[in-house]
Amino acid sequence: MSRIKSVLAALKANNRKALIPYITAGDPHPDYTLGFMHSLVNAGADIIELGVPFSDPMADGPVIQLACERALIHNVSLKDVLEMVRVFRETNTVTPVVLMGYLNPIEMMGYSKFVSAAASVGVDGILVVDLPPEESEDFAGLLRENEMDSIYLIAPTSSDERIKSICEHSSGYVYYVSVKGVTGSGALDHLEVQAKVNHIREQSQVPVGVGFGIKDARSAAEIAKFADGVIVGSVLVNAIADNQRDSAAAQSRLEEIIASMRQAMDEVTSPQV
């Protein structure tokens, strides 16, 4: 069983939900990323989504665009991101790491070189924002061979037919994009998201993570009531942006946010006795 599957299964057995933070690798400096990853885990993260910086992040809002720009000042490459995961694995062998990014850096490295490198450093899943299942036959095959999970997005605009097909292609979890828009978009409508997540569940057993628009402990808890995972990105990247020159301050801010979300989520899913 993949690391992602076993983490999600263990959480489910305890009636808890996965907290899945996203940060952009190398933002604001490549030396900070490792510390940030450990902080996220210490504060209660279950899975880490690590963003691979890209010059043209079309599906992202200004917060993550700027994070990419900060990382790219230091020329943080896909190779560098893989190296960060390798070093992370020296001290943490339990927390799954999902790389999230855009296709072109992977195209330049070459699919098979990338997938085997990612597998060997201990990456657990890949989410390529601009690679829908229709275009990913070769890539997904390589991931399967290397026992990594393929994570795909489902959007509010996805038809039933597409939801079904995406779930069939997905392993680990599917990422439900809770709002029409880019990352960091405005407030989400919990009831609408809940209805859609229930709808996805009717079609598939794959766990459902919900992301986009989750800004604080309260909205994380709302989502945790019905989703398997809560994905949170822009609010963390903002915290990093606010503390660019002080990695310790950024780290403690990340811990605060994650810890408060963790607590709020656990309160609604496993009532204290």
Site of interaction with other proteins (CB under 8 A): 54-62, 65, 69, 72, 75, 77-79, 102-109, 129-132, 134-135, 152-159, 162, 166, 177, 180-182, 185
**Catalytic pick from 27, 46, 60, 228?**
60
Q: Which is nearer to other proteins, 185 or 263 (CB)?
A: 185
Q: Are 208 and 20 in contact (CB under 8 A)?
A: no
Let me know if 60 is a catalytic residue.
yes
* Shorter beta-carbon distance to other proteins: residue 177 or 264: 177
Nearer to other proteins, 103 or 119 (CB): 103
Radius of gyration of the chain (CA): 17
Nearest CB to other proteins, comparing residues 102 and 258: 102
Closest distance of CB 116 from other proteins, Å: 17
The span from the CA of 113 to the CA of 82, in Å, is 12
149 is catalytic: no
Cβ 248 to other proteins, closest distance in Å? 30
Tokens standing for residue 177:
């994009």
Of 27, 31, 46, 49, catalytic: 49
Q: How far is the CB of 265 from other proteins (least distance, A)?
A: 25
Nearest to other proteins of 33, 95 (CB atom): 33
In sign, the C-alpha dihedral spanning 115, 117, 120, 122 is: negative
* Closest separation in Å from C-beta 56 to other proteins: 5
Active site residues: 49, 60
